Amino acid sequence: MQRNAQTHYPILLVHGLLGFDVIGSISLFHDVRQALRNAGARVFVPQLSATHSNEARGAQLLAQIERVRERTGADKVNLFGHSQGALAARYAAAIAPTAVASVTSVSGPNQGSEVADVLRKALTPGRLPEQVAEKVAILFANFLSLMGAERGMQQNAIAALNALTTEGVATFNDKYPQGLPEIRGGEGREKVNGVGYYSWSGVLQNNLPDGGLNTLDPVHACLCALSRFFVTEIGQNDGLVGRFSSHLGKVIRSDYPLDHLATLRQPGIAARHGIDPIDLYVQHAERLKNAGL
């Protein structure tokens, strides 16, 4: 059966920290973009700094929203932000609500990341560990640029880390509260200033570190290890972001059996649970289409 996800407004897929559009033959959003296009959507992937603050990446996103609007003739765009991309999308919608039809947060740290808190405490400001960590992160970001990802974009690893801590996101939220729940774990307003707000995310399954098809996935194993640093959302996180920290606007679901990066790809464990992470994007585009967005 042919799917119809032909939204009224174009869709922009916004990557998060250390994300990219294309490196060589690898595209971060390849499967998502292709699935959406196959279902009739107009899809674009903006280029943002791999490492920088939420506001800096949001300003970059705003500039590229304007290019998409000029190219397509559309008045507005739908923003799908993965991880830190959700914060850039929120910034853009708060600054220019007339240019944004909707913001969808996918595994977004909308109340901050407890892993970022741990890293921030471990890296003493101004001392060698922080300088080394920043250098490594910038070298990696520059490597992504050399490989063809986000060429020429400025990088600032420490600004990115600070922007993702609970304190950093709280400061960001004070300025741009649109769509946030009033109570942690609740839902926010679905529409603010004419912009629709939605979110979904996943939770690591308790049995994954001990077995399952994802056990041999080194990225998944790393996320399982990072999940042990959570204090507030123990057992209720995707390895980088807490379940309730991800809530924004209308919550589609926040406990899919998916780790932080699995919301971009099809892992074995998701197939076992009957979850297709890629199809979640198509389903949501259909939802936006039915809402006239």
State how far the Cα of 33 lies from the Cα of 222, in Å rounded to an integer.
Answer: 26
Residue range 48-76: mean pLDDT, rounded: 94
Q: Which of 49, 53, 83, 246 is catalytic?
A: 83
In a domain, 213, yes or no: no
Across-strand partners of 242? 237
Residue 289 in this model has a pLDDT that exceeds 60:
yes
Q: Identify the CATH number of the domain in which residue 101 sits.
A: 3.40.50.1820
Going by pLDDT thresholds of 50, 70 and 90, the confidence category of residue 133 is low
State how far the Cα of 163 lies from the Cα of 38, in Å rounded to an integer.
Answer: 35
Q: Does 113 participate in catalysis according to the annotation?
A: no
Residue range 252-270: mean pLDDT, rounded: 83
Residue range 100-105: mean pLDDT, rounded: 98
Say what the pLDDT of residue 38 is.
94
Of 34-48, 147-161, 171-185, 265-279, give the lowest mean pLDDT range.
Answer: 147-161
Kindly list the distances between the CA atom of residue 98 and the CA atoms of 54, 199, 252, in Å, as whole numbers in the listed order. Answer: 20, 20, 24
Q: Does 238 participate in catalysis according to the annotation?
A: yes
Q: How many domains in the chain?
A: 1
CB 15 within 8 A of CB 29: yes
What's the angle, vertex CA 55, arms to CA 145 and CA 115, rounded to 5?
Answer: 75
Q: Which of 82, 220, 247, 260 is catalytic?
A: 260
**Bridge pairing between strands 22-23 and 77-82:** unpaired
Hey, what are 124's tokens?
């003493």
Going by pLDDT thresholds of 50, 70 and 90, the confidence category of residue 77 is very high
Say what the pLDDT of residue 144 is.
41
State how far the Cα of 200 lies from the Cα of 263, in Å rounded to an integer.
Answer: 9
In a domain, 209, yes or no: no
State how far the Cα of 259 lies from the Cα of 214, in Å rounded to an integer.
Answer: 10
In a domain, 27, yes or no: yes
Of 241-250, 265-274, 276-285, give the lowest mean pLDDT range.
Answer: 265-274
In a domain, 224, yes or no: no
In a domain, 50, yes or no: yes
Say what the pLDDT of residue 125 is.
62
Q: Which residue has the tokens 């041999």?
A: 216
Cβ contacts of residue 60 below 8 Å, gap of 6+?
46, 47, 48, 49, 88, 153
**Bridge pairing between strands 26-27 and 191-192:** unpaired
State how far the Cα of 222 lies from the Cα of 92, in Å rounded to an integer.
Answer: 31
Residue 203 in this model has a pLDDT that exceeds 80:
yes
In a domain, 235, yes or no: no
Hey, what are 293's tokens?
């967005």
Half-sphere exposure of 100 (CA within 13 A, CB side): 30
Nearest to 92 by CA among 103, 84, 82: 103
Residue 145 in this model has a pLDDT that exceeds 50:
no
Q: Does 273 participate in catalysis according to the annotation?
A: no
Residue 46 in this model has a pLDDT that exceeds 60:
yes
Phi, psi of 136 (to 5 degrees): -65, -45
Say what the pLDDT of residue 265 is.
78
Phi, psi of 205 (to 5 degrees): -85, 140
In a domain, 233, yes or no: no
Range of the domain at 180: 11-202+241-290
In a domain, 227, yes or no: no
- pTM value is 0.87
Share above pLDDT 70 across residues of the chain, in percent, rounded to a whole number: 78
Q: Which of 21, 217, 238, 259 is catalytic?
A: 238
State how far the Cα of 249 lies from the Cα of 90, in Å rounded to an integer.
Answer: 11
Residue 276 in this model has a pLDDT that exceeds 60:
yes
Task: Round the CA-based radius of gyration of the chain to a whole number and report it.
Answer: 18
* Structure confidence by residue, pLDDT tens digits, 5-14: 999 999 999 9
